[in-house]
Amino acid sequence: MFNKHGNYLDTYLWTVFLFAIIFPVIIKCEGDPDEFVPPLIYIQSRGYIGESHYITTEDGYILQAHRIISPKYVHVPKKVVLVQHGLLLSSMVFLVNSPGGGEYFHGPIEDKDPVNHYRDRHPEVGNNLGFLLADHGYDVWMPNSRGNTYSTNHTKMSPFKDKKYWNFSYDEMAFKDLPASISYIQYKTGQSEIAYIGHSQGTTIAFMLLSERPEYASILKPLIMLAPIMNLTTTKDGLKHILTDEELMKDLLAVGGPFLPHASLLELFPEVVCATKLHFICTNVLQIMGGLNVAQLNITRLPVYFSYIPAGTSAQNVVHYKQMITKRTQFFDFGPEKNMAKYGRSEPPDFRFDRMDTSNMVMFWSENDLFCGAEEMDAVRRTLRRPLMAEYRVPDPLWSHMDFLFGRQVGRFVHGPVLGILKRYPIVWLPGRAPQNSRTFSGHSNPPTASHPLPPGKHFDRVRIY
Ligand SMILES: *[C@@H]1O[C@H](CO)[C@@H](O)[C@H](O)[C@H]1NC(C)=O
Ligand SMILES: *[C@@H]1O[C@H](CO)[C@@H](O)[C@H](O)[C@H]1NC(C)=O
Ligand SMILES: *[C@@H]1O[C@H](CO)[C@@H](O)[C@H](O)[C@H]1NC(C)=O
Ligand SMILES: *[C@@H]1O[C@H](CO)[C@@H](O)[C@H](O)[C@H]1NC(C)=O
């Protein structure tokens, strides 16, 4: 149904139109109390301390990062973990899975096994990575990429009036958002080494940064990549069908602006569709986003998930994914003329993932992930200059891309081993930032205007071509 762009646009417009009419009728339906909760209130509702931080990038985009600390660990030094979400998602995806996780474990209990260890102590939060990390004494930072629900602001431009605001793709997320987030977190916490956990696009932008600016390998330790994406040329099904429609993509680029934003109109989507017999439409969206695994999905909770996703991105970013599928993983293709001005050549340069120079990288992948299955992992291994520190194939052969967020057993299969890896990495302070400064809990705070403490290399203005 998505193959002809006319049909797709019609369907989209009709859906929006119908929601506008159905809205007054449906509004009275009762929803799950976890739907549409503002992040800090959601975090507090689970007994944790939440903060919002506003991080300004060098090109003026204002990102919102959510930070979680457990009340048990306010006064002790906490290792910093940066958790980065994927395409059309937000920081909330690490918090909104059903409670539980431990009860799915069947097997002998061995004390040294991180899976068992966490199962016994933390049965309630095991499936929600953000809370689980806080519960284990980590200082959890979850930045939101530019243009999503929580990061729609700019020092000069208005996202609602200036179309130019939306002229970005994952290039900017990798080379502007991520460095700004890292510097900000270093500045606030006094720590020079940051543990990085990415999902999907959250892994891609880290690969890009480490390729173009290899010096970041000394800051991001370890790098834990969930459902990693380096190349999409071999991707199957799902997104591919929509994104390879040339006409639709041309339209999308011409129209520009946001893509699937979290507008008030779309807030009706979960109640209208996901909570009714039409919930198959929501599961289809999950299918598009990387594969569906019904056994791992709590269908009752779909309205909660869909009150936070899709969280929006730019149309240009979606077009960049199309380029990744039909061509290669490269910088955004602006067309020959603009490419010449921007990159000094008519074709956009490829990313050189073989230039990543880290021995602290771990990957979690699964057979049924439409974006990164066994075939793609072979390519990843061939590409890397240094071997992975560890690699985990989720033992469920049906495990898919979104199960890394919403799977019923994600606590057992993924989060347990993640905790085991993190435990090996100590806190490393910036020069002159002693542990007594570690209690930097400060409520809402302004971005640092002074120079960043650890400017890692040059600013990214022109692409370096080798
Ligand atoms: C956007 O950023 C500006 C400039 O920092 C600030 O004054 C304004 O309150 C922000 N708007 C929103 C909606 O957060
Ligand atoms: C934004 O991007 C679109 C599509 O690439 C382009 O046509 C437009 O000129 C850009 N706008 C600005 C202000 O750069
Ligand atoms: C599934 O989601 C519902 C709705 O949020 C929740 O009440 C229930 O506990 C969840 N079930 C499981 C097994 O996690
Ligand atoms: C993956 O993408 C990179 C960058 O475009 C490219 O150099 C590499 O050959 C690709 N690998 C595969 C297996 O397609």
Say how far apart CA 259 and CA 168 lie, in whole Å: 12
428 phi/psi in degrees, rounded to 5:
-125, 120
b (16+ CB within 10 A) / e for 399-415: bbbbbbbbbbbbbbbbb
Say how far apart CA 148 and CA 259 lie, in whole Å: 9
Domain presence at residue 435: no
Domain presence at residue 112: yes
What 3-state class would DSSP assign to 59? coil
Domain presence at residue 258: yes
Which of 153, 157, 161, when mutated, tests ligand 1's pocket best, judged by the most ligand atoms within 8 Å of its CB?
153
Check residue 357 and give its pLDDT: 96
Domain presence at residue 113: yes
Check residue 388 and give its pLDDT: 95
Q: Which residue's alpha carbon is at the smallest distance from atom 1 of ligand 2?
A: 167
Domain presence at residue 447: no
pLDDT tens digits, one per residue of 23-53:
333 443 567 888 889 999 999 988 899 999 9
Check residue 30 and give its pLDDT: 62
How many domains is the chain partitioned into structurally? 1
**Sheet strands (E) in 248-342:** 258-259, 313-314
Domain presence at residue 124: yes
Low-confidence ranges of the chain (pLDDT < 70): 1-30, 99-125, 236-244, 260-292, 434-466
Ligand approaching nearest to the C-alpha of 56 = 1
Q: Which residues are catalytic?
A: 200, 401
Check residue 289 and give its pLDDT: 63
The reply to whether ligand 3 has any atom less than 6 angstroms from the CB of 100 is yes
Q: Which residue's alpha carbon is at the smallest distance from atom 1 of ligand 1?
A: 153
The reply to whether ligand 2 has any atom less than 6 angstroms from the CB of 283 is no
The reply to whether ligand 3 has any atom less than 6 angstroms from the CB of 300 is yes
Q: How far is the CA of 380 from the centre of ligand 4 (A)?
A: 9
Domain presence at residue 434: no
Check residue 458 and give its pLDDT: 31
Domain presence at residue 463: no
pLDDT tens digits, one per residue of 252-279:
777 777 776 665 444 544 544 455 555 5
Domain membership of residue 284 as a residue range:
5-427
Say how far apart CA 411 and CA 404 lie, in whole Å: 9
Say how far apart CA 385 and CA 359 lie, in whole Å: 9
Ligand approaching nearest to the C-alpha of 249 = 2
The CATH number that applies at residue 172 is 3.40.50.1820
Identify the CA nearest to 100 among candidates 414, 412, 418, 398.
412
Q: How far is the CA of 62 from the centre of ligand 1 (A)?
A: 8
